[in-house]
Structure 1
Amino acid sequence: MPKLTPHLRYLAHAQQQTLWLENVSIQQLASQVATPFYCYSKAALLNNIQDCKAAFEPNKIHIHYAMKANSNLSLLRIVAEQGLGVDIVSIGEMRRALSAGFRAQDIVFSGVGKTSAELTAAVLAGVGQFNLESKEELAVLISITDKYQQQVSALIRVNPEVIVDTHKNITTGAKGNKFGVNFNAVLPMLETAQHSAFLKINGLAMHIGSQIHTTAPYLDAIAKIKILIDKLNARGYPLTQLDLGGGFGVHYQNHPQVTSNTECSVPPHLAFNDFANAITSALPDWQGRISVEPGRSLMANIGVMVSEITYVKESQPTSFIVLDAAMNDLMRPALYQATHALIPVQLHSQTEVPSTTQLTNYDVVGPICESTDTFSKSTPLPSNVTAGDLMCFLYTGAYCAVMSNSYNSRPIAAEVLVDDAQAHMIRQAISQDELMEFERHSALNLR
């Protein structure tokens, strides 16, 4: 089984083994940063980016990072420095992208509900590509480009109505999803845009969902889009751009084997090369521009979330491990029924690996007053874990810290970036005192 990352491993120290990310001890980090907190490996991120570029760039496929996966400014700067573009879904993300060093012309603005104010700001900033989701959005964008006499390039996002094997909450290209337009709506939108002096529709976009572990639905969707493009070309609308979205799947291992002096392992996921080869094989004669928008597949395995055990609560039929982390810190289990692998930061032996007889099944939960505040059930963990032990959730680089909130009036967790033997705070924890500053009572002038 391949390694989770070459940057996460146990090292023997003082009659036990402790978890290290690159050359930083997680235990030492936890002595300086209050748990729970997120921690990312810069080297792992750089490796993922290089793998992605090596797969797509030789095939002349452009890469735009889907920053909704993780929009921390320090991580965005790393991505921008590597020459990737960026895919955004709000004007707040545009501000972050520009602040991190992405060029406006390398920004793709996606999203089904862009407001007039957001579209105006993006037009004036010089955003390079707008993915249109409706004829209504097209009309608003045309009026804005007319008002400011700004040239804009746009693509129409189509809904190819393909079935993908993923969680129902993260499908985006099936019939009935709110995203994109059906194929019959494309020609009328092209006809409308033809009368605009400043807006040009150059191609089609799609995004069929997230956590896709096979190339089959991409091939299905591309085949449908090719037929549509041929029809539009015959009608006098030659299109030169295809935006194929992202959604490349990541395997979140439920219960990793905790091993001695080795890296933590997860099942292999489909490589970037598999998707790149599938795209090029499906479009052998395409002469225009192709782009993709990976997010999770660049970020998920670079991060861990560190938490401390508050109680080991004896119960029947299964005892509970109650952590100081909760669903407000890590939403994916409650929202998508996702399970993140959980491992101890310390193994209380220098040489022995916990055997199956040394493991106990626990339900792992947080302190929030919701039954949904459950990270996993019947999770095999070392029988000797106890209150005060540090635990580590794996694969938390994507859709984790970025979705955190302050439910139950809890603080928002810090984020740390590890670079070899150095650690940098890249987001301070946000306390309730700081959050309450936004709740000052003041009268509004309604005159």
Structure 2
Amino acid sequence: MTQLTEPVYYHQGELQMESSQIRTLAGKMATPFYCYSEARLLGNVRRCKDAFESRGIQIHYAMKANSTLHILRLIAEQGLGVDLVSGGEMQRALAAGFPASRMIFSGVGKSRAELNAAIEAGVGRLEGNQTESSQFNVESAEELALLAELAEQQNARVSVALRVNPDVSVNTHKNITTGQKGNKFGIDMERVCELCQHYADHSHLAIEGLAMHIGSQICDTEPYRAAIGKMMALVDQLAQEGVEITRLDLGGGFGISYGQGDALDFETIAEVIAAETERFHGTVIVEPGRSLVADTGILVSRINYVKAAEPRSFVILDAGMNDLMRPALYQAVHPIVTVNEAANGTAQEYDIVGPICESTDTFARSYPLSGDLQAGDLVAFLCAGAYCSVMNSTYNSRTIIPEVMVSGSEAKVIRQPVNQQTLMAFEQDMPAL
């Protein structure tokens, strides 16, 4: 059975988040919906700051993990920077209160329009009061050339970090490795010196940093040690060629436990990073995403049917793969619990599925749940605060589901559902081209 801890726990047989009863929330709004704990989010940010900032390491939240405005505002209020991977994320970050001076623009395929908008907004600008924690993480020679052209057109001088592909193997799902040869991300280490020399005297670009991101959901420190070692060697090589690197952006990817126990806590990885960069005299940056928000959220769903079948019965939920994509995309398994606490007894194994007309709409197979499950019962997927709501889609013409934030015994909707009536309005009276 899944062991529950704060902020999600059973009280008198009912699942709660902080002091709010999940069944009560489900009685006030349609399922499925996402529900987050404000206390856990703020606690995670505090622990992250205690680990990294105490060692002089800057933190930029990787907002691709969860970009709901209310969550972004809470994180911005704690003084963190933000890591972006699209122009849309920049718009959200600005709306949430992140200044351009605390934005890092990453991403392998930034468009001309996105780069122009970011330069105009002030991302990476070296004029005025711009701090050294804002930059463009450039992933190719072609992108660097385009950024130089656009910065010159806007008469701006911008700070650049070259994202390096350190070719380090990590023990994670193949779909979330980003730092090995064959991945689309980053620049081969052999080309970095060439690019730094080519742009050494450029009037509108300043290559001041090196960046890396080796993957996601990494629970071992050794890949970080290996990758940072390669980055430090590259810093030394560049110094010998007269190129000074003043910033190292070491990415994120710190793994959390999805019920299996393995995780990489902030204090452990911060200690490793501090030790491996001890002789580096510039700014060190990390970009945690999942590790800040994953365990703050749950997905609440209602059972539509318990379908008798062989070799196992199906629990068919009202949540589908369009609401929670990770199992279909990464074969991820989220811990699943019933909202009413089952009495001690033998658990029965079920295949937990959704209503989408796809065989991949399967959350778990042979999953043990206790109690006499019936249609109408509520279940909750744990650790659903990262890479879940941001992947919502309307496949099968389904509603984009709402999100709720809990603070103690109070709860409020932080994202309204987006239903088909709203979406169809965008398809009416379309103008001619």
TM range (shorter): over 0.9
Cα deviation, residue 3, structure 1: 7.1
Find the residue that maps to 1:407 and give its secondary structure.
Answer: coil
Cα deviation, residue 71, structure 1: 0.1
Matched letter for residue 238 of structure 2: L
Task: List per-residue Cα deviations over 1:49-97 (Å, max 9, x = no partner).
Answer: 0110000001100000000000000000000000000000001100100
CA distance in 1, matches of 2:68, 2:194: 39
* Residue 424 (structure 2) pairs with residue 428 (structure 1): no
The number of aligned residues is: 423
CA distance in 2, matches of 1:3, 1:145: 53
Find the residue that maps to 1:227 and give its secondary structure.
Answer: helix
Match of 2:130 in 1: none
* Residue 55 (structure 2) pairs with residue 64 (structure 1): no
Q: Percent identity, please.
A: 53
Q: Is the 8 A contact 2:348 2:368 kept in 1?
A: yes
**What does residue range 94-243 of structure 1 map to in structure 2 within 5 Å?**
94-127=90-123, 128-243=134-249
Q: Is the 8 A contact 1:5 1:44 kept in 2?
A: no
In 2 relative to 1, CA 2–320 (structure 1 residues): closer, same or farther, beyond 3 Å?
A: closer
Match of 1:260 in 2: none
In 2 relative to 1, CA 3–388 (structure 1 residues): closer, same or farther, beyond 3 Å?
A: closer
Find the residue that maps to 2:165 and give its secondary structure.
Answer: coil
Q: Is the 8 A contact 1:69 1:398 kept in 2?
A: yes
Cα deviation, residue 267, structure 1: 2.1
Q: Is the 8 A contact 2:349 2:368 kept in 1?
A: yes
Match of 2:11 in 1: 11
Find the residue that maps to 1:223 and give its secondary structure.
Answer: helix
**What does residue range 5-404 of structure 1 map to in structure 2 within 5 Å?**
5-12=5-12, 17-127=13-123, 128-253=134-259, 267=261, 269-347=263-341, 353-355=343-345, 357=346, 359-404=347-392
Q: Is the 8 A contact 2:2 2:337 kept in 1?
A: no
In 2 relative to 1, CA 83–433 (structure 1 residues): closer, same or farther, beyond 3 Å?
A: same
Find the residue that maps to 1:409 and give its secondary structure.
Answer: coil
Cα deviation, residue 171, structure 1: 0.3
Cα deviation, residue 151, structure 1: 1.7
CA distance in 1, matches of 2:5, 2:154: 49
Cα deviation, residue 442, structure 1: 2.5
Matched letter for residue 136 of structure 1: E
TM-score (norm. length: structure 1): 0.93
Cα deviation, residue 4, structure 1: 5.5
Task: List per-residue Cα deviations over 1:95-150 (Å, max 9, x = no partner).
Answer: 10011011111000000000111001101111121000011111111111111111
Structure 1: gaps (5+ residues): 254-265
CA distance in 1, matches of 2:413, 2:340: 23
Q: 1 or 2 for the larger relative contact order (CA 8 Å, sep ≥6)? A: 1
Match of 2:129 in 1: none
Q: Is the 8 A contact 1:307 1:391 kept in 2?
A: yes
Task: List per-residue Cα deviations over 1:290-333 (Å, max 9, x = no partner).
Answer: 00000000000000000000000000110000000000000000
Q: Is the 8 A contact 1:162 1:221 kept in 2?
A: yes
Find the residue that maps to 1:130 and give its secondary structure.
Answer: strand
In 2 relative to 1, CA 72–5 (structure 1 residues): closer, same or farther, beyond 3 Å?
A: farther
**Which of 398, 406, 412 in structure 2 is aligned with 1:418?**
406
Q: Is the 8 A contact 2:165 2:179 kept in 1?
A: yes
RMSD of aligned alpha carbons: 1.4
Find the residue that maps to 1:346 and give its secondary structure.
Answer: coil
CA distance in 2, matches of 1:384, 1:4: 20
Report the more deviating stretch, 219-228 or 330-339: 219-228
CA distance in 2, matches of 1:421, 1:298: 22
Cα deviation, residue 443, structure 1: 4.4
Q: Is the 8 A contact 1:2 1:267 kept in 2?
A: no
CA distance in 1, matches of 2:361, 2:344: 27
Q: Is the 8 A contact 2:172 2:216 kept in 1?
A: yes
Task: List per-residue Cα deviations over 1:262-300 (Å, max 9, x = no partner).
Answer: xxxx62522101111111111221110000000000000
Cα deviation, residue 204, structure 1: 0.3
Match of 1:261 in 2: none
Find the residue that maps to 2:367 and give its secondary structure.
Answer: strand
Q: Is the 8 A contact 2:219 2:262 kept in 1?
A: no
CA distance in 2, matches of 1:229, 1:11: 54
